[in-house]
Amino acid sequence: MIEMHHIYKNYGNDVVVLKDLNLVIDRGEFIFIVGSSGAGKSTLLKLLLREIIPTRGSIKIFGRDIMRIKRRQIPFFRRNIGMVFQDFRLLSDRDVFENVAFALRVTGVPAKEIRKRVPLSLELVGIKDKASKRPDELSGGEQQRVCVARAIVNRPAVIIADEPTGNLDPNTSMGIMNLFQEINVRGTTVIIATHAKELVNHFQKRVVVLEGGRLISDQERGVYINAH
């Protein structure tokens, strides 16, 4: 489903962020992208969202060369990808329901459909009873669940999470990772960038290790290894 071949990403002439990256991800996989801060994890995810384009190399997503996606088509392309952020990025001026509904409203989904889908999504992430609460009335873990609910509400093929547990304590983090696993079991591809070593090792999933912009290890049932 995702194929990256010989990807290079530079900023200007001096800043080399990704070097000769090769990565193939199949439908339904659960994959951790790990590495220390500055290794290039976020850059890799941004490439998948077509927020940025590679300096060199080819990326195919859903069988399409991302360089061939026209500007106008990018929004429609992104509707296939749900994004989860470290800082949740919820809108503080509206309640949980509206935060999740937002993703549907701005993509032109009818209100009737929204009333059906949002509760389902909230139920799946386990915060159905918090629908009318505002984000600042929720704990960090609950806020992240809202963010996940928003990411999955339009049933994307892929969920991409950038340090989703970066702002959470270990127990809460485990809960969120379990949630991702549940979502994965239902058939959604899940890609998580993180440097939470214990969590990664606990789940025994595919682990891709980046260091200084290079892919130094890619293992099924892998563990988070450090080069040093």
Partner 1 sequence: MHIRSLFYFLGEALKSVVRHGWMSIASIAVVAITLLILGCFMVLNYNVTSLAEDIKEQVQIVVYVDKNAGEEARDELQSKLVAHPELEEVRFVTKEEAMERLKKQMGDRAYLLDGYTEDDDNPLRDSYEIRTKIPENIPQVAEEVGKYPGVGYVDYGKGIVEPLFQFTGVVRWIGMFFMVGMAVTAIFLIAHTIRLTVYIRRREIQIMKYVGATDWFIRWPFIFEGLILGLFGAILPVILIQCSYQAAAEWTQENIYFVSLISPQLIGTEVAQLLVPLGVVLGILGSTLSVRKFLKV
Residues of this chain that interact with ligand ADP (CB under 6 A) are 11, 15, 17, 35, 37-43
Q: What does 77 bind: partner 1, Mg ion, ligand ADP, none (CB cut-off 5 to 8 Å by kind)?
A: partner 1
Nearer to partner 1, 52 or 225 (CB): 52
Task: Name the residue among 150, 153, 42, 130 with its Cα closest to residue 90.
Answer: 150
Q: 1, 36, 77, 214: which one contacts partner 1 (CB under 8 A)?
A: 77
6, 27, 56, 89: which one contacts partner 1 (CB under 8 A)? 89
Written as one letter, the residue type at 225 is: I
Q: Which two tokens stand for residue 152?
A: 């999955």
Q: Concatenated DSSP letters for 93-159?
A: TS-HHHHHHHHHHTTT--HHHHHHHHHHHHHHHT-GGGTTS-GGGS-HHHHHHHHHHHHHTT--SEE
Phi, psi of 50 (to 5 degrees): 55, 35
Could you say which of ligand ADP, partner 1, Mg ion, none residue 11 binds, taking C-beta under 5 to 8 angstroms by partner kind?
Answer: ligand ADP
Select the span of 36-44, 108-116, 185-193, 213-221 touching partner 1 (CB under 8 A).
Answer: 108-116
Which residues of this protein are in contact with partner 1, per CB under 8 A? 49, 72, 75-79, 83, 89, 91, 93, 102-103, 105-108, 110-111, 150, 154
